Amino acid sequence: MTCKGMIAFVKAWEDTCGDSGEKGTPTLAVPGGKKFRLSPVAFKGPCKSSSINVQIDGTLVAPSSLSGWKGCSSGKWLNFQDVANLNVKGSGQVDGQGSPWWDGAEGPDGCENRPTALAFSQCVNLVLSGLKHVNSPRNHISISGCDNGIVSNLQITAPESSPNTDGIDISHTNNLDIHDLDIQTGDDCIAINGGSSNISITRVSCGPGHGVSIGSLGKNGAYETVEQVQVRDCSFSGTTNGVRIKTWQASGVVVSDVTFTGFRGSSASDQAIKLSCSSVGCSDITLDNVQITSSKPGDTVTASCENAHGSATLTTPPVRCLGS
């Protein structure tokens, strides 16, 4: 997209966000069959209407070279902030063009750190559905400081060798329902970070990647909490781990009420389940009907845990500290 086109895109958001909604929910539409090359841009609220639609049927493309990332001081490419009842849907694609970043190259002034492709912050009642997300420089999707949301029917893809290309990163977010996703990345399929609660993850296909992770939490001794996480009916193929809780030992991290149910799949590493909790410990951890084998024929996998408390039933590999 030319500079003139970029300005038009920003103007379209200003018009959408400034629409009172008297004639129906304001909608920003990205038409199918077209590509739009965008520099880093922020879509900021609050908006005048009680709800906003963003319909993406075309392809949004990030800058193809590092020089095109000037001005991404927020470390984000597409950044939705403080928009209530935001519905982002469609059959289109979000292409982060991440490969120039993956070899450790530094970006231009003001964008030294690899950016997240699509970010939502301080959003209430978020809906994200239907899109294909590919090749983010870093996290594909970041959800931070949000309350109530549904994320469904997404395909998220990056090469197995791409560093830190998490599928979805969640932090300081409550009441989030994630279901029916296919995630193939170079890092965590889904990472749940501090300040998050009541997170439901269902029917997610993961691999390659690092599995579903809680943390890491408590760096530099920080106090953080994660509670009420339910992961159900997920499948893993060749992931580094299937189940993982990561905390720094010398920290005040509290992880509680976490349930993993109905896991099936394979692990590329010897350690399929890793529960590493701080000295405070993780409580009410439940593994039920979890079956993870090695992706290497003839090899076996193990589980490890430190300061984790709860129960494990019908779980392979056995998790001794949880009574499996």
Can you give the pLDDT at residue 229? 97
pLDDT of residue 3: 47
The per-residue pLDDT for range 129-145, each reduced to its tens digit, is: 999 999 999 999 999 99
**Weakest mean pLDDT among 7-11, 255-259, 262-266, 305-309:** 7-11
Question: Is residue 187 among the annotated active site residues?
Answer: yes
- Rg for the chain (alpha carbons), in Å? 20
Active-site residue, selected from the candidate residues 82, 210, 284, 288: 210
User: What whole-number distance in Å separates Cα of residue 97 and Cα of residue 137?
Assistant: 7
CB atoms under 10 Å from CB of 256, counted, come to 18
pLDDT for 189 beyond 50: yes
The position carrying tokens 């899109």 is 131
**Greater model confidence, 148 or 241:** 148
Domains of the chain, by residue range, sit at 1-187, 212-324
The predicted pLDDT at position 235 comes to 95
The distance of Cα 287 from the centroid of its chain, to the nearest Å, equals 22
Average pLDDT over residues 58-85: 90
What is the number of other CB atoms lying within 10 angstroms of the CB of residue 71? Answer: 13
Q: What is the pLDDT of residues 78-103, one digit of tens each?
A: 999 999 999 999 999 999 999 999 98
Cβ atoms of residues 317 and 292 within 8 Å = yes
Comparison of pLDDT for 113 and 57, the residue scoring more: 57
Predicted confidence (pLDDT) per residue in 217-236, tens digit: 888 888 899 999 999 999 99
User: How many whole angstroms separate alpha carbon 321 and alpha carbon 324?
Assistant: 7
* pLDDT score of 5 more than 80: no
Confidence (pLDDT) at 74 = 77
pLDDT band at 14 (very low <50, low <70, confident <90, very high): very high
Report residue 194: phi and psi, to 5°.
-60, 155
Helix, strand or coil, per DSSP, at residue 219: helix
- pLDDT at position 2 is 44
CATH for the stretch 1-187: 2.160.20.10
Residue type, 303: A
Q: Examine the residue annotation and report whether 210 is marked as an active-site residue of this protein.
A: yes
Full-model pTM: 0.95
Categorize the per-residue pLDDT at 278 as very low, low, confident or very high, splitting at 50, 70 and 90.
Answer: confident
Contact 165, 136 (CB under 8 A): yes
- pLDDT (0 to 100) of residue 6: 67
Q: What is the mean pLDDT of the chain?
A: 92
Query: Phi first, then psi: what are they for 177, rounded to 5°?
Result: -110, 115
Q: Which of 19, 182, 187, 188 is catalytic?
A: 187
- Among positive and negative, which fits the CA dihedral 192, 196, 197, 200? negative
